[in-house]
Structure 1
Amino acid sequence: MRVAIIRNRSDFVAANHGIRVARPGFVLLVRPDVQGVDRVRFGVTVTRKIGNAVCRNRMKRRFRALLRDILPTRGMPGADHVLIGREGGIERDFAALRGELEAALARVAAGKGDPPRRPRPPGAGKRR
């Protein structure tokens, strides 16, 4: 199975409407993609809340290595996979992250995601 990278913001936003599985080190979003059945796409995002640029880039490199290793065999065919880094992800052991990602992908394959998040109140998150 071919593995590609998600590059457009619209694809990241669309993945937010798919299945969501939260783990201590990351949040996995998976959304079926209608364009390519023979490929798996992935994207990684880490916000500035996590740390400085060095920490964020290190976390993204670790996530990309995990995804390139696991997605060809365990990924959902024809779907977009997005990993969002969480605060504890940078200190976590690589083997622990791997186990969490495999468990999260198994939940997605079974069609079980976490319950939807509560909608944010109007005006929440606006910068002043």
Structure 2
Amino acid sequence: MTRETHESEFEVVRMRVRPQFVYVRHGKTERRKSLLVQARRRKGADSDAHMGEGFTATKKIGNAVIRNRCKRRLREAARVLLPQHGKPGWDYVFIARKDTADIAWPRLLDDMESALISLAAD
């Protein structure tokens, strides 16, 4: 696993294998116009040591160029917002929607921020 540190006291670790994504799928979900965010508390001894982040875009979104653009935009938005609004010990999966590629950047940030705040409140 590649580890990325952000401007906080905990690490954000990239999730890359399917079982990690499947585990998060059975957690909480928040839907917005430009993205869908899934979150689930991790079990285990190191559960509070870091947060997990994963990004996905299905073929329904468009061709490879559009899917990659969506994931790049989601990665950058998560880099900015996840350390502020995410909870240590939780894994987050960000799923692109059709509007992710073309929506205005401030709107994408607002959608992600409101979804993360809603997930943290539960």
1:31 and 2:37 correspond: no
Gaps of 5+ in 2: 1-9
How much does 1:76 deviate?
1.7
Q: Corresponding residue for 1:68?
A: 79
Quote the residue 1:83 is aligned against: 94
- Which 4+ stretches in 1 moved above 3 angstroms? none
Q: Match for residue 6 of structure 2? A: none
Q: 1:92 aligns with which of 103, 106, 112?
A: 103
**CA deviation after TM superposition for structure 1 residue 38, in Å:** 2.1
Bigger Rg, which one: 1
SS of match in other structure, 2:51:
strand
Is structure 2 residue 29 aligned with structure 1 residue 8?
Answer: no
Residue in structure 2 matched with residue 47 of structure 1 by the alignment? 58
Q: Quick one: distance in 2 between partners of 1:40 and 1:68?
A: 12
Paired residues, what number? 111
Q: Normalising by structure 1, what TM-score?
A: 0.83
Q: Report the counterpart of residue 4 of structure 2 in structure 1.
A: none
| Alpha-carbon distance between aligned partners in 2 of 1:6 and 1:43, rounded to the nearest angstrom | 5
1:85-114 deviation per Cα after TM superposition (whole angstroms, max 9, x unaligned): 111111111111111111111111111xxx
Gaps of 5+ in 1: 112-128
Identity of aligned residues (%): 37
Which whole-Å deviations, capped at 9, do the CAs of 1:43-91 have from their partners, x for residues lacking one? 0000011111110001100101111111112112110000111111111
Aligned residue identity for 1:77: P
Partner of 1:58: 69
How far residue 20 of structure 1 moved from its aligned partner, in angstroms, is 0.3
Kindly report the root-mean-square deviation, in angstroms, between the aligned alpha carbons of the 2 structures: 0.9
